[in-house]
Amino acid sequence: MTQFNLDLVRRLSEAAGVPGREENVRAIVRAEIEGLVDELGEDPMGNLVAVRRGTAPEGERRRVMLTAHMDEIGFMVRHIDERGFLRLQPLGFFDPRHLIARPVTVWGAEGPLPGVMTPGGRPVHIATPEEQKKVPDPREFYVDLGLGADAVRSRVRVGDSVTLDAALREVGDLVCGKALDNRAVVALQVELLRALHAAPPRHDVYAVFTVQEEVGLRGAGPAAYAVRPDLSVVLDTTLAVDTPGVGPDEAVTRLGEGVGVKLFDASMISTRWLVDELVAVAEEGGVPYQLEVLPLGGTDGGPVQRSRAGVPTVTLSLPTRYIHTVVECVHRRDWEAMLDLTTRYLTR
């Protein structure tokens, strides 16, 4: 079983890549998988499509589509005011409780600019009791670059991307950082292709690194339309709410207890025979797994499943604590179980 690739996860986590600006992540992935696959290309949406041909006779081979999205939640500059403060358009869903007083980077045409993001209003020392209790709306936040308005306008344009800053670090048995949704799984799909290079699959595998998942699952649908898969296994993260203040019925998954095999989320209901096949493979191989029901949220599985006349689809999930923050945490054992199960399924 392949061990957790900490170096690759670190480089992917710390790379910038908001929806529509995934080029830095795509470059890392391309460099890692060139030479491992039979075909490699980029579609008009920016999805990176890697093909590993199977060993079965051509007339018997099916097309298996995998996806792992490259983008992270972030922001876009929507306005520069008269004093040089930047107003932001969220790209993806944020819990504003986790955004106050955050270091950020603004990616201008001439290079990255460090900044501080915080909501407008009075500091706590002079705020009213009502203001202290208020949870700000994400659109109330601004970025301070510490520069005058003219200097800001010469370096920043409306549409430039803004990312939250956080270095990856190990915390006990966990690995924590920004954008592990879904960069930890992007790294997993890279390692999967490495495994399939050594032990080819029976069927053709189309491993797609998708774009713009966080703003409406936008990249996967066009990719599925082009690939025309016979079935699809979507690889993504999911909630692990195994923390104080939440009942066990709401945990969704728990860290360290294995890969999540998704049954339901707001975007799709997994194809039951695929769920049953993956569970059987996990049990035969002694791979730890958890059955997952996610009440809200979705994955690339939704648009893939609905592509053309419909595609049998299932999602495998990496349990993640504190999702959509800069301290997303995953467990090495879950990552390794997810990779093990996917590899066994494709090569059996």
**Residue corresponding to tokens 């983008």:** 71
Tokens describing residue 96: 């504003």
122 and 101 in contact (C-beta within 8 Å)?
no
- Using CA atoms, how far apart are residues 173 and 170, in angstroms rounded to an integer? 7
- Using CA atoms, how far apart are residues 264 and 284, in angstroms rounded to an integer? 24
Cis peptide before 24 (omega within 30 of 0): no
40 and 34 in contact (C-beta within 8 Å)?
yes
Distant-in-sequence, close-in-space partners of 247: CB < 8 Å, separation ≥ 6: none
Q: Which of 22, 32, 72, 213 is catalytic?
A: 213
- Using CA atoms, how far apart are residues 214 and 18, in angstroms rounded to an integer? 9
Report which residue type is found at 212: Q
108 and 77 in contact (C-beta within 8 Å)?
no
Among candidate residues 209, 304, 218, the one with its CA nearest the CA of residue 262: 304
Residue 36 DSSP symbol: T
User: Which secondary structure element, helix H or strand E, spans residue 315, and what is its range?
Assistant: strand 313-320
Instruction: Tell me, yes or no, if 213 is annotated catalytic.
Output: yes
Among candidate residues 28, 2, 31, the one with its CA nearest the CA of residue 14: 28
Q: What is the C-alpha R_g of the chain?
A: 21
Residue positions annotated with a catalytic role: 213
